[in-house]
Chain A
Amino acid sequence: MSTDTCVTQPASTPGFISVEALTKRYRPDMPPVFENVSFTIGQGEFVCIIGHSGCGKSTILNVLAGLEEATSGHVIMANREISGPSLDRGVVFQGHALMPWLTVQANIAFAVRSRHPKWTREQIGAHIQRFVDMVGLNGSEKKKPSELSGGMRQRVGIARAFAVEPKMLLLDEPFGALDALTRGVIQDELLKIVSATRQTVFMITHDVDEAILLSNKIMLMSNGPRARIAEIVVNTLPADRQRETMHHDPQYYRIRNHLVDFLVRRSRETDRDLESSATPRLVRPGLDEGEGAAVVRNAIPIIKAVA
């Protein structure tokens, strides 16, 4: 069963991060932005969250980061409840959040020095160089962020987050402001880095293709207020998928259609019938119904041949 091995590809220890009944209410006289949000992320998993603006995706990410507090509910990471930010959870911010008065090198050094205060200058320098190389920024180490393009700035942000070597990486729509071409290049790089480091990632995106390319699981959020995680779509594409060939897989369209359908239609409807179920259901588009399973099995050798 080649498909099964693909689906369960990340050897995840379930519940590395578990979010339990998270609710956020900004004003007591208003309904909560989201309520009763529960999910788990396994070690080494790449999870994307998709939903319309205002459903509280960023708030969930900020709660995971420890930058914001939920009104109720808990986040437990490695058997400990999260309270406040930590070096164990690195964040790549939407607007890169680099310090404009520091060079690329100094920006990353700031993070490394926070992680390893006792390191010598040489140790820090070598460590920085490794991550500068990783994101393909050699030659730009001495530049200020204002001298870099948007894509390069975001790479610095990614390098800074990775250089801390956190147990978990939180990405808040990191490529939202980039053009499609740059975005593709950085997605490929991120994919390469993540598969090499087996980093656990939680990422917000609005880009359905990006989610399918990068993640193992895609969480779909219904619209706010009272947003919920409606369902979790398991990415059944092979783990070695690539941007150039991914769209030849018939399974890709089943997942994509499922996601787009949700965003266009069902994200509005689901909030009623979700009231009862506490945990979101797992969906494997095209496979759960049974009709698509055979096609997928046939498709995989094709993908591998192309790749």
Chain B
Amino acid sequence: MNGPRRITARISIRQKAALCSIALLAVLLIVWQAATCTSGPDASVKSPDDAEAVEYAMLMGKIPETGAASQSSSKVTGFPTPAQFAAEASRQLAHPFRDNGPNDKGFAIQLGYSLARVAAGYVIALAVAVPLGFLIGMSRLAFLTFNPFIQVLKPISPLAWMPIALYTIKSSSTSAIFVIFICSVWPMLINTVFGVAAVRRDWLNVARTLEVTPLRRALRVILPAAAPTIVTGMRISMGIAWLVIVAAEMLVGGTGIGYFLWNEWNNLSLANVLFSVLLIGLVGMALDLLFAQLQRKVTYVD
């Protein structure tokens, strides 16, 4: 009796959570709807009677039309209602790869630019951080040599490097890659150092008594032993890199999801701003899940 009951209880907590999540989403949508509906009629002035109202409408970015109401305009201004947002989002989703010049690219193309930059900066950071971390983690001399530099450079905001990067590298796109590199290198480096330094003495002694060559020891003993810590560092780095790329692209401009977001803000298309904000969140989540998967793969039970 107890067994099946327990199972149903376990299933139902998942179901309960799912129901609660859906309910929470519904509440948020209702609040959103309510908040945008009340301001809706105010903002979209239908028949401006006095000059004050006209001026107000113009300040709000709307040109009061004499005849038909502004509903016919496809462009949604002001904060969109959920329905308006859904319409705008489906319009975006319908043409993910469109490319009508620098200011009208599909979100998939923009995401592609951002992901490519993140990937480039991240891979370079990985290629630097892991070998360097091995060196620092294994050698006391290297640790003491590099530590002051790491401690000084680590707390610098990645965007603070932007002017230096722009001046020295000159290419804005490469500068963004550099910023990704500099922000993702630290967590990976520090975690690699700790992971390598914390490898159990016994395992190293086993390798020593077996006369294992240094390269084989590094790859077959230290790397798998430190892998969970290293991958944790990689996961943190990826999170930071995805945070930073949006900010960097807002600054640098041209392409990328950050630029897309900023461009839509300049267009005063809050529906698109909202769309890209959600997109950034979803992609960030997907990246994190990817690393969670990797983490599960390298974790060992001791």
Chain A positions near chain B (C-beta within 8 angstroms): 65-67, 84-87, 89-91, 93, 95, 97, 99-102, 110-111, 114-115, 144, 146, 164
Contacts and interface: CB of A to CB of B under 8 A. Distances in A.
Contact of A115 (B205, B206, B210, B300): B210
Contacts of A115: 210
A114 B208 contact: no
A224 to B, nearest CB: 22
5 contacts: A85-B208, A85-B211, A93-B202, A110-B220, A146-B302
A17 to B, nearest CB: 16
Nearest to B202: A97
Interface in B147-205: 200, 202-203, 205
A100 B300 contact: yes
B202 A86 contact: no
A95 B200 CA distance: 11
A224 B174 CA distance: 65
Contact of A86 (B211, B227, B300): B211
B209 to A, nearest CB: 4
Contacts of B224: 99, 101-102
A151 to B, nearest CB: 17
Contact of B210 (A84, A100, A114): A114
Nearest to B212: A114
Contacts of B206: 91, 93, 97, 99, 111
A110 B205 contact: no
Give chain B's interface secondary structure class.
helix
B231 interface: no
B221 interface: yes
A67 B208 contact: yes
B202 A144 contact: no
B300 A101 contact: yes
Contacts, number: 59
B203 A99 contact: yes
B178 to A, nearest CB: 35
A91 B210 CA distance: 9
Contacts of A114: 210-212
A29 to B, nearest CB: 23
Contacts of A164: 210
B210 A87 contact: yes
B261 interface: no
Given A91-B205, A146-B301, A101 B210 contact: no
A95 B203 CA distance: 10
B244 interface: no
Nearest to B208: A85
Interface string B214-234: 000000110011010000000
Nearest to A114: B210
Contacts of B220: 110
Nearest to B216: A114
A140 to B, nearest CB: 16
Nearest to A96: B202
Nearest to A161: B209
Contacts of B205: 65, 67, 85, 91, 93, 97
A146 B302 CA distance: 6
Contacts of B300: 100-101, 144, 146
Nearest to A164: B210
A91 B206 CA distance: 8
A93 B210 CA distance: 13
A111 B216 CA distance: 12
Contacts of B208: 66-67, 84-85
A148 to B, nearest CB: 11
Contacts of A101: 224-225, 227, 298, 300
Interface string B289-302: 00000000010111
Nearest to B302: A100
Contact of B209 (A85, A95, A144, A146): A85
A114 to B, nearest CB: 4
A114 B220 CA distance: 12
A87 B227 CA distance: 27
A111 B207 CA distance: 8
A102 B220 CA distance: 10
